[in-house]
Amino acid sequence: MRYVFCIFKYFPYGGLQRDFLKIALECQRRGHQIAVYTLQWQAEVPQGFEIEIIPSHALTNAGRCLQFAMAVKKRLQESPADCVIGFNKIPGLDIYFCGDSCFVAREKYKKNFLSRFGFRYLIYSALERAVFEKASKTKILTLTASEKKKYQYYYQTSEERFHQVPPGITCDPMDMERVQKSRDAFRHEMNIPEGTCLLLMVGSGFQTKGLDRSLLAFASLPNELRKKCLLWVVGEGTEKPFVRMAQELGVDGQVMFWGPRSDVFRFMSGADILLHPSYHELAGMVLLEAMAVGLPILVSDVCGYAFHVAKAKAGLLISSPFKQKEMNEILENMLRMYKNSSWKVNGMSYVGENDFTSLPEKAADIIDSFSKYHRRYADCKKFSH
């Protein structure tokens, strides 16, 4: 069968992009032809993939997304697929992988209500409505029950259209001895002084991930604690405003940006605390990956997978509504107690006891089931005529 995957932009280090590639490769492994429609592809093309770059000359992101949706509709009319799987919200999808939070719900709480009358809001809300409205037939693969409830509240999406899938972390199970060896090798290679606490942030999109919050919390630490700490940032994003912010806070000598990396797990094994004070995040696979290597976590409770951190007792949560003072205090407390806590062991045990790796297989099962059902339906319809 020919499966068409639609994604606005592919680059190797985004969480949504990684999920897309794992699912597409699993479908290919099962013998299906894989075509990808995208605005931008920034990586090597997997063998056998058919990549089609959709041209767009719009000046805004919303405009480009609208042009993409219209172009995909036209191409599917010219060259139909057995199943169309989208990783961003556009009309005409058979299956939507819900890797983003509800746009309308997020916009509702913005202070500037006038933004809801602008071009950006009109486009993104229309694309979202096309997927989730009651009249749509699109099946939805969802990662968290909490976000499903938001979509159902705003669009009255029927329960049977949702299919929850497990996370898809890619790390091998690690025991304490392997983690310690990796940690020692990493810290030696990076010349991290003995007794230094390495705070780590991982993720693309520094603003959304709350890097400003982390910098403020880091700068607020008592001098005797802060001088023993480093804050390293791994991921793809615009560094300049945050470099300037670190300079203004007087901590730029202890903050380092490493860009996107393929060896994120080495950074995690060598770090002492993961900071993840996101403004919003549907899931947060990085939280489970950190737990897998025993890295304690400080995370905002709006992240979809934050409940795993709480359930495992693998770190601490910042409550909503977010208060910078609360994060500052929690970080200081974590720094005073992380060496003697059970967060490390708890996280590793929790990941080992749960299914956090079968996302590609479960998603491909649902895609195959949908495709076979519609192929049978089409054959029956043809026979009846």
d(CA 164, CA 152): 14
Residue 171, in any domain of the structure:
no
Same domain for 120 and 187, yes or no, is no
| Secondary-structure breakdown of the chain: helix, strand, coil percentages, each rounded to the nearest 5 | 50, 20, 30
Res. 13 pLDDT band, cuts 50 70 90: confident
What is the greatest pairwise CA distance in the chain?
A: 81
d(CA 39, CA 64): 8
Residue 160: give the domain boundaries.
2-166+358-384
Same domain for 244 and 311, yes or no, is yes
Same domain for 129 and 226, yes or no, is no
Same domain for 160 and 85, yes or no, is yes
Q: What is the CATH number of the domain that holds 271?
A: 3.40.50.2000
Among 110-124, 239-253, 267-281, whose mean pLDDT is lowest?
110-124
Residue 245, in any domain of the structure:
yes
Among 28-32, 127-131, 163-167, 170-174, whose mean pLDDT is lowest?
170-174
Query: What percent of the chain is predicted at pLDDT more than 70?
Result: 94
Same domain for 70 and 139, yes or no, is yes
Name 282's Cβ contacts closer than 8 Å, sequence gap at least 6. 98, 99, 100, 101, 143, 144, 147, 304
| Mean pLDDT for the stretch of residues 162-180 | 84
Residue 101, in any domain of the structure:
yes
pLDDT for 207 beyond 80: yes
Of 154, 149, 185, 181, nearest to 164 by C-alpha is 149
- The total number of structural domains in the chain stands at 2
The rounded radius of gyration (Å) of the Cα atoms in the chain is 22
Same domain for 378 and 345, yes or no, is no
Burial label for 106, CB within 10 Å (0-12, 13-18, 19+), is middle
Residue type present at position 148: K
3-state secondary structure of 318: strand
Round the average pLDDT of the chain to a whole number and report it.
93
Res. 133 pLDDT band, cuts 50 70 90: very high
The per-residue pLDDT for 373 is 60
Strands (DSSP E) contained in 301-385 are 315-318
d(CA 86, CA 11): 16
The per-residue pLDDT for 379 is 47
Residue 282, in any domain of the structure:
yes
| Mean pLDDT for the stretch of residues 128-145 | 96
Same domain for 192 and 162, yes or no, is no
Same domain for 153 and 180, yes or no, is no
Query: What percent of the chain is predicted at pLDDT more than 90?
Result: 84
Residue 376, in any domain of the structure:
yes
Peptide linkage before 222 cis (omega within 30 of 0): no
Same domain for 160 and 275, yes or no, is no
The per-residue pLDDT for 114 is 63
Same domain for 222 and 135, yes or no, is no
| Euclidean distance between the first and the last CA atom of the chain, given in angstroms as a whole number | 24
C-alpha 231: how far from chain center: 21
Same domain for 375 and 334, yes or no, is no
Same domain for 331 and 248, yes or no, is yes
Res. 371 pLDDT band, cuts 50 70 90: confident
